[in-house]
Every structure is written in C-alpha cells, then in structure tokens.
Amino acid sequence: MVKRWSRREMLKRAAVAGAVGAVPARALAQAEPAERYANLTAAQGATLEAIVARLIPSDASGPGALEAGAARYIDRALGDALARWRDAYSAGLAATEAYARRAAGKPFTELSADRQDSVLRDVEQNVATGFTPNSATFFELVLGHTLEGTFGDPHYGGNRDFVGWELIGYPGLRLAVTPEQQRMDARPEMTRLSAYDLPMFAADDGGHGDEHGH
C-alpha cells in the first residue's frame, strides 16, 4: 500500500511544486514519476502525471492537478473504487504514448507543454488513433478523475494541502454554517479539514488509515 504522506512531507512537496513554477510537468515527468505507484507502473505513472499536469497546469496562478496529487489519487482509486477502469487506464496511457510518438515523434512525457497540449487536444477531439473504444472516451475518463483528485476530499490522496479548494475559493468543511457565512460577500476562513479529520467521522483506527470510511 501507498504510505500516507505526513503533513510535513505534503508541505515540502507543495513548496517544491511552487518553486518549479511554469514548467513543472516536463521537469518532473521527464526524470521519474514523483510518486511511487500502487496500481500503475512507473512508466504509466509518469504519463499520467504529465497528462494531469496539462489538464490543470501549475502556472503563475498557483499549483495544479499534479501538485494536488491527482495522479496519485487515480492510482490509489484504481485499486478499489475505480478498479473497473484499471484496464482502461493501462491501455489509454499506452495509447497516449504511442500516439505521441506517431504524431509528435517523441514520448508524451518528453514533449514540450505546447506539444503535449496539442496531443491532448487530439485525444479530446477523438482524432487520436490507437485507442479503444476511442480517444475521447479515455480523455473524459481522465479529465473526470483529475477533477475528483484535485477537488475531492484529501482523504483519498488528492487535493494535497487543499490546493484544489484554494484554487476555487471553497472555504472548506464546516459542520454548522451561520447565516452570515452564507452572505454573498462572506469569505469565511478556509478550514483545511478532511471529513475524516472530524472526530465524529474519523475511522476507528484513529484516522490514520488509508481506508475509505465505509
């Protein structure tokens, strides 16, 4: 199993991601995957990281899906809640690499951000070949899961350090909300909590497990 990141490690990673700045996808993905993966191979992980880094990029406005841990979220979920998509990811990631080589002459992970975007546009618009049943289906799958991994509860391995919630200005979990906090100009302080940090929902192991609160 993937170990749970300590808060310190998460902060360190977020800081690194921020420092990398405008071209983190390439820089990180070219070397080796940032994560150790449980359900994907290292090569698949590297490709997935490169994709999510373009879907929601890290840029001047702040960190993106890679820094949120969306790839890690997907990898973990492929072992349980998203297990039925495991084969689709294996095939789709391989097809993305193969198409990148055909269309752009290089592995996807080694392309510039612009070239990666143009490959992904082909995948999105269903003109990329070599996908089963087709490339658009794979694109929608990854895009949906990238949103889950960026904006979902950090309990599942994504939305690391709440970067997704900060990105859209979500003020976080509250068990009780006042009328004032529902005013249109209200900007409640962000709570920075996972649901399972709250004692009434914490897992029986004290909240340190990776299980999903069923």
Partner 1 sequence: MAIRLDKTDVVVVGLGGAGGVAVEPLTAAGLDVVGLEAGTWLSPKDFAPDELRNNYRGWPQAAQKANREIPVHRPNATAPDSPRAAVHPMMNGVGGTTLHYWAQSWRLSPWDFRVVTETRRRYGAARIPRSSTVEDWPFGLDELEPYYDQVEHALGVSGQAGNVGGVIDPRGNVFEGPRARGYPMPPLRGTEFVDSMADAARRLGWHPFPGPAAVNSELYQNRSPCMYHGFCNRGGCHVSAKNSTAVSTIPRAQASGHLDVVTEAHVTRIDVGRDRRVTGVQYRKGGETYVQPCAAVLLASYTYENTRLLLLSTSDDFPRGLANNSRQVGKHYMTHNQGAGVLALFARKVNRWYGLPAQGVAVDEWADDNFDHSDVDFIGGGNLWVYSDRRPIEAASMSTFGRAPRWGSAWKAFVMENADRWVSSYLQKTTLPYADNFLDLHPTVKDPLGDPVCRLTADHQDNERRIASFVQDKMEQWFREAGAIATQRLPVGTMGVTTHAYGGTRMGDDPKTNVIDRFGFAHEVPNLGVLGASVMGTSGARNPTLTAQALAWRTAEHLAKSWSVIAA
Both structure tokens of 151? 């904006």
Q: Does 18 bind partner 1 (CB under 8 A)?
A: no
CA distance 8 to 128: 41
Bridge partner residues of 62 (DSSP): 59
- Binding residue (CB under 8 A) for partner 1 from 198, 207, 209, 210: 198
Q: Does 173 bind partner 1 (CB under 8 A)?
A: yes
- Binding residue (CB under 8 A) for partner 1 from 97, 110, 153, 161: 153
Nearer to partner 1, 33 or 158 (CB): 158
CA distance 159 to 165: 7
CA distance 192 to 99: 40
CA distance 10 to 7: 5
DSSP state at residue 110: G
Nearer to partner 1, 110 or 148 (CB): 148
Output b/e per residue, 75-98; b: 16+ Cβ within 10 A: bbbbeeebeebeebbeebbbbbbb
Per-residue string for binding with partner 1, 104-133, x by CB under 8 A? Answer: -------------x--x---x---------
Q: Does 207 bind partner 1 (CB under 8 A)?
A: no
Question: Least separation, in Å, of the C-beta of 89 and partner 1?
Answer: 17
Residues in touch with partner 1 (CB under 8 A): 54-57, 59, 61, 64, 81, 117, 120, 124, 143-144, 147-148, 150-153, 155-156, 164-165, 167-171, 173-177, 179, 181-186, 195-196, 198, 200-201, 212-214
